[in-house]
């Protein structure tokens, strides 16, 4: 259902979010750096608090229904965005993006993704308004994606250049080296684009591909385009800082694909039940609504989303802790002196851990 929220609230919210994104982009552009854990944590906390406050304002302005749908949509998009970070790590590594410029890459990629998602959301809302049976397709696709996540959750995912990136490389002259955060440079008197442009397109287009399951998922929770778009904005705004905050911790979230599969599968079933409840297809129940199909309330959706994320996080951390404990060499028994290291030898070094293993998607 599309809620009749006051127009002033919708326009004021969108204007404030655009200003916030512009300020964030200006800050990153003027001071490129690798943020510390403390800085990243504060920014993530700020954006999470902002989303919670926005939901409370929506509660005061529109009531419990739109506020509940916003929170459910935001949590779903946020959890899916965390999964996307695995691929972002691979892209940054693949294109050897300098660490001090990774914030700018993520910020520009997020803005590109928001523009493309905005068009996707408007198109989806128009299609759903005219053709309710599309819910059957969305629901089936989400269930398929959930099964794929479970079946391929342990496989390593590699980033593959999509059509847009290959076309860009073929059409535009691209230099071999970066020139700071610039997208244009001069090499031997010739004007060339830098690899930074390719990275911007890679991040933005890859996120758009991820929207193929996240947008149908949130449309399974709310039909209001304003709530869908704002939930996407709040989920993506904190993604840049979350990338630096989680860092190597991503590889510890081993059960995240299972949680996402549960969430997507649940929403897929919810969409199909809703399609049955409002059925108009002549070959299903003679084109009549299916009376036994229940309507899943938003509080149940919130409970499933929160419960899945919480259980997956706790179980993941517990498993990685147990794995680390087993991998740690046992201490020498009492009275036994460990083998001494030659004083002239170099201290033993531990090899750096490899990048996070990306779950199948």
**Token reading at 349:** 């070094």
CA Rg value for the chain: 23
Q: Concatenate the DSSP letters of all residues of 247-263 into one string.
A: GGGGGG-TTHHHHHHHH
Q: Which residues pair with 294 in a beta bridge?
A: none
**289 inside domain:** yes
Residue 253: predicted pLDDT: 76
| pLDDT for 24 | 78
**Which tops the pLDDT comparison, 104 or 159?**
104
Tokens of 198: 């390719």
Residue 218 has pLDDT above 50, yes or no: yes
User: 214 lies in a domain?
Assistant: yes
User: Which is nearest to 89 in space by CA: 100, 102, 79, 78?
Assistant: 102
Report yes or no on 190 lying in a domain.
yes
Domain count, the chain: 1
Q: Quick one: pLDDT band at residue 305, thresholds 50, 70, 90?
A: confident
pLDDT greater than 50 at residue 122:
yes
* Cβ(11)–Cβ(233) below 8 Å: no
If pLDDT is split at 50, 70 and 90, which confidence band does 121 have? Answer: confident
pLDDT tens digits, 59-86:
999 899 899 999 999 988 888 877 677 6
Share of the chain above pLDDT 90, in %: 11
143-158 CB burial, b ≥16 within 10 A, e <16: bebbebbeeebeeeee
Position 332 pLDDT exceeds 70: no
Kindly state the average pLDDT of the residues 221-238.
87
Q: What pLDDT digit, counting tens, does each position of 233-243 carry?
A: 898 887 777 87
Q: Which residues contact 315 (CB under 8 A, 6 or more apart)?
A: 255
User: Is there a contact between 140 and 213 (Cβ–Cβ < 8 Å)?
Assistant: no
Which residue's structure tokens are 């993006």?
97
User: Could you tell me if residue 127 is inside a domain?
Assistant: yes
Quote the pLDDT of residue 159.
58
Is 70 exceeded by the pLDDT of residue 205? Answer: yes
Instruction: Over range 209-226, report the average pLDDT.
Output: 81
**pLDDT value of position 59:** 93
Confidence of residue 1 (pLDDT cuts 50, 70, 90): low
pLDDT at 189: 80
Return the pLDDT at 191: 85
Q: How much is the average pLDDT of 212-220?
A: 79
Decide if 332 is inside a domain: no
Query: 351 lies in a domain?
Result: no
Distance CA 117, CA 205 (A): 10
- DSSP letter for 351, please: P
DSSP state of 186: E
Helix H or strand E encompassing 18? helix 7-30
Range of the domain at 103: 7-327
Six-digit token string for 289? 């609504």
Above 60 in pLDDT, residue 350? no
pLDDT tops 50 at residue 156: no
Residue 281 within any structural domain of the chain:
yes
Residue 44: predicted pLDDT: 86
pLDDT value, residue 329: 59
| pLDDT average, residue stretch 206-229 | 81
DSSP H or E run through 190: strand 190-193
């Amino acid at each position: 259902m599309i809620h009749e929220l006051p127009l002033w609230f919708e326009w004021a919210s969108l204007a404030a979010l655009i200003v916030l994104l512009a300020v964030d982009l200006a800050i990153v552009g003027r001071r490129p750096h690798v943020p510390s854990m403390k800085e990243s944590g504060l920014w993530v906390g700020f954006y999470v608090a902002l989303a919670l406050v926005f939901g409370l304002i929506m509660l005061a302005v529109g009531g419990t229904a739109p506020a509940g749908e916003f929170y459910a949509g935001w949590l779903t998009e946020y959890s899916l965005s965390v999964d996307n970070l695995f691929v972002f790590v691979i892209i940054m590594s693949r294109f050897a993006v300098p660490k001090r410029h990774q914030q700018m890459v993520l910020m520009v990629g997020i803005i590109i993704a928001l523009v493309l998602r905005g068009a996707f959301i408007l198109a989806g809302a128009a299609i759903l308004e005219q053709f309710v049976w599309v819910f059957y397709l969305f629901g089936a696709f989400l269930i398929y994606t959930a099964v794929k996540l479970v079946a391929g959750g342990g496989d390593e995912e590699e980033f593959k250049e999509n059509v847009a990136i290959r076309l860009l490389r073929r059409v535009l002259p691209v230099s071999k080296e970066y020139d700071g955060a610039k997208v244009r440079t001069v090499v031997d008197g010739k004007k060339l684009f830098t690899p930074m442009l390719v990275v911007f397109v890679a991040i933005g287009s890859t996120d758009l591909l991820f929207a193929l399951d996240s947008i149908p998922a949130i449309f399974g929770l709310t039909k209001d385009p304003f709530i869908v778009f704002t939930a996407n904005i709040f989920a993506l705004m904190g993604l840049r800082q979350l990338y630096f905050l989680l860092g190597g911790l991503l590889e510890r979230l081993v059960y995240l694909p299972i949680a996402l599969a549960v969430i997507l599968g649940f929403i897929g079933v919810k969409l199909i039940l809703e399609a049955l409840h409002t059925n108009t297809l002549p070959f299903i129940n003679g084109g009549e609504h299916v009376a036994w199909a229940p309507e899943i309330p938003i509080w149940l959706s919130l409970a499933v989303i929160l419960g899945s994320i919480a259980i997956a996080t706790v179980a993941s951390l517990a498993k990685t802790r147990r794995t680390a404990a087993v991998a740690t060499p046992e201490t020498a028994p009492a009275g036994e002196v460990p083998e001494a290291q030659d004083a002239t030898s170099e201290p033993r070094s531990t090899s750096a851990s490899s990048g996070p293993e990306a779950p199948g998607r």
